[in-house]
Amino acid sequence: MLVNSFSLCYHNKLILAPMVRVGTLPMRLLALDYGADIVYCEELIDLKMLQCKRVVNEVLSTVDFVAPDDRVVFRTCKREQSRVIFQMGTSDAERALAVARLVENDVAGIDVNMGCPKEYSTKGGMGAALLSDPDKIEKILSTLVKGTHRPVTCKIRILSSLEDTLSLVKRIERTGIAAIAVHGRKREERPQHPVSCEAIKAIAETLSIPVIANGGSHDHIQEYLDIEDFRQATAASSVMVARAAMWNPSIFLKEGLRPLEEVMQKYIRYAVQYDNHYTNTKYCLCQMLREQLESPQGKLLHAAQSSQEICEAFGLGAFYEETTRELDARRAELLARTPEEAGDPAQDTSDVIKMAVKFDRRAYSPQITPKMCLLEWCRREKLAQPVYETVQRPLDRLFCSVVTVAEQKYQSTLWDKSKKLAEQAAAIVCLRSQGLPEGRLGEVSTSLHKRKWEAPDQDPGGPRAQEPAMPGELCKKPFVALGSGKESSLEGW
């Protein structure tokens, strides 16, 4: 049996609850700023994590766990290392242990979600589905306690009867876990149902390990002082806050709630500094705005289609530009030190036509993209469809693409955040070198107006939507990660 090399105290703590799409790095850091002692990441599924590779991101000074499709599944940094809890969704002890060993050197603790009632969690026997299988619970927790160097916890809901609930938590305690979080509602209950402080209190009085009370947002917790009232009402060791913290993370601040505008601006700064995907940033900000979504600022946020546009909506345009310049400079410095990783998608660049261009979606019609214009031109000229070859640079995981049209190669010298954006840039180079329309606002290209727009980017925070393939997509060569020597298809691209 391994001895936990790091001990995390769960007594008298303010804790940010695990929340899907909310508990990413910017929110966790913001909660720590405002006084949270411990922060949980969103529930991450074991099967997805086991596909990930651990990558040290020197540009952002983070550790990233990156899926085969290049989506960052979990990102963390040194500042939160001693206070972040990794919560997993699992229904298998061996998979759970494999995930724990993958992340244990970068987190403070390991938690198993046994309380989420949503179908995406329960359909695989995870989350609240585990509550009906105490044997499996015991096996998962015992395996983790014996096999990882970090303290192990779990988060549950109460059962249909108090007697059954107490029987289960006593069995859970015997596995050797460090603490247990209890959401004081049953599996079938939702936020509109009252939380059972009495059930949490009975559990706290029965167990010797710390009990973390959860479920008090809105009805019990609306400001900082309410957190202690909820703790006393449940006799718990600590309190875990979910929705109240999602609405305003400064709920953890002893001095009281900060103005929402200030909180959102601080959140946006973290999102930009740590390259959070704009759709996730936008989602979290919408949860904070709530009833103000129809305000002028809310409408600007709703219309934003990039991190830059979000910043501009909140008066942070200059901050975005300055931070982008700093990250680009850091990236250039690192590449100068490791020129072998600079990479180039074309092995022989002597015959490649190059320009320094990027695809800025704001400059183009919502229904038309440069790739569509190029494909349409090739059809009219009875040429073969464009062929895109894309590579990814290991150091910063940026993309660059070369498009071949009529045996001539075209490439942008600027690397981009996604494969789609890199391909659009390559198409722009080809179109501009031929003096052809590229779909910019104000250009006339009547033959394309009825064609479906191909979205240049997609939300990494959830399952990828199935997109209809454009005709030109059928001619793409496989995506190649530089330095890997392997080819892998990018699902959903």
Active site residues: 116
Q: At which residue do the structure tokens 């031109």 appear?
A: 377
- Measuring CA to CA, how many Å separate 363 from each of 333, 358, 359, 366, 370? 30, 11, 8, 9, 11
Tokens in use for 489? Answer: 């298809």
Tokens in use for 330? Answer: 């850091």
Distance CA 44, CA 120 (A): 11
For residues 355 and 413, is the Cβ–Cβ distance under 8 A? yes
Helix (H, G, I), strand (E, B) or coil at 18: coil
**Burial (Cβ within 10 Å: 0-12, 13-18, ≥19) of residue 438:** buried
The helix (run of H) or strand (run of E) holding residue 150 is: none
For residues 212 and 10, is the Cβ–Cβ distance under 8 A? yes
For residue 62, which phi and psi values (nearest 5 degrees)?
-130, 170
For residues 261 and 293, is the Cβ–Cβ distance under 8 A? no
Residues 6+ apart with CB under 8 A from 180: 153, 154, 155, 156, 169, 172, 173, 203, 207, 209, 210, 211, 212
Distance CA 30, CA 296 (A): 25
Tokens in use for 175? Answer: 């596995």
For residues 297 and 339, is the Cβ–Cβ distance under 8 A? no
Q: Identify how many contiguous H helices and E strands the chain contains and give both numbers.
A: 16, 18
Q: Bridge-partner residues for 479, per DSSP?
A: 488
Residue 440: DSSP 8-state: B
The helix (run of H) or strand (run of E) holding residue 420 is: helix 419-433
Distance CA 428, CA 440 (A): 10
**Burial (Cβ within 10 Å: 0-12, 13-18, ≥19) of residue 229:** middle
Could you give the residue ranges of the DSSP H alpha helices within 174-219? 197-206
For residues 43 and 87, is the Cβ–Cβ distance under 8 A? yes
Distance CA 110, CA 104 (A): 8
Distance CA 152, CA 135 (A): 17
- How many CB atoms sit inside 10 A of residue 208's CB? 6
The helix (run of H) or strand (run of E) holding residue 110 is: strand 109-114
